[in-house]
Amino acid sequence: MSAGEVRSNDGASVARVDTKLEIVVIPVSDVDRAKEFYGRLGWRLDADYDNGDDFRVIQFTPPGSGCSVIFGKNVTGAAPGSTQGLYMIVSDIAAAREEMLGRGVKISEVFHDAGGVYAGPDEPYLFGRRRVSGADPEHRSYRSFASFHDPDGNGWLFQEITARLAGRVAGDTTYASASDLASALRRAAAAHGEHEKRTGGQRDENWPDWYAEYMVREQSGKEPPQ
């Protein structure tokens, strides 16, 4: 059976169909206010369709994202502000927060979780409900956050990820922006410097191959080259 096939219930091989999450619907009470807010974030406005009567849909896409959000009039029956825990993945949590502040968006201080505590007074999020001020002391991926809300109270989280866990990325190695690629190159350069120290300090003429291997392994969650 090939990598692109899966077993059906009767044992036959069937082609795997890519299933990509592309739209998240968020409930808002004031469509124009929400449009102004998400536009202020620097997100791309993809559509604003209004039938002039009882239906309007607006779509925005965050920079570098393969998933968009839509909101509008009569697009969801959910209560405005009821969507929580919307994760935005960034490679530099401090820079992402500073950009939001520069755009006039109220955002929390950077925080990390208290050892995976699943009880406490703070807002629910994946790693628990007890926030500790500051980035993760060990600067581990998946462990540093900052949160903000839209005008209706829909809740968003920045989560810093610089290296994926095994199996979290499939397919081609991709970067969402020039900034993400530059950050990956800097991490590869630092790791390659340690590699050269281990090999006697001689210049590695094959450094492009080493960088490429490091960056591919980092995204797929595999052990980096030594």
* Domains recognised in the chain with CATH numbers: 1-79 (3.10.180.10), 84-162 (3.10.180.10), 178-220 (no CATH)
pTM for this model (two decimals): 0.70
170 pLDDT more than 50: no
- Taking residues 4-20, report their average pLDDT: 67
Q: pLDDT confidence of 86, banded at 50, 70, 90?
A: very high
Q: What is the pLDDT of residues 127-149, one digit of tens each?
A: 778 899 999 998 888 899 999 99
> Which residue carries 């866990």 as its tokens?
165
Going by the DSSP 8-state scheme, the letter that residue 206 receives in this structure is T
Q: Answer yes or no: are the C-beta atoms of 143 and 113 closer than 8 Å.
A: yes
d(CA 8, CA 5): 9
pLDDT at 164: 73
Is residue 106 scored above 70 in pLDDT?
Answer: yes
Secondary element (H or E) of residue 44: strand 44-50
Backbone CA torsion sign across 154, 44, 159, 105: negative
92 touches 183 (CB < 8 A): yes
Q: Mean pLDDT of all residues in the chain? A: 85
pLDDT band at 8 (very low <50, low <70, confident <90, very high): low
- Of 53, 24, 56, 66, whose CA–CA distance to 150 is shortest? 24
**Helix, strand, coil % over all residues of the chain, rounded to 5:** 25, 25, 50
Per-residue DSSP letter, 14: E
C-alpha distances (whole Å) from 128 to each of 114, 168, 205 are 8, 21, 46
| Most confidently predicted of 88-97, 178-187, 199-208 | 88-97
The DSSP string of 101-160 is HHTT--BPPPEEESSS---SSSPPBTTBS-EEESS-TT--TT-EEEEEE-TT--EEEEEE
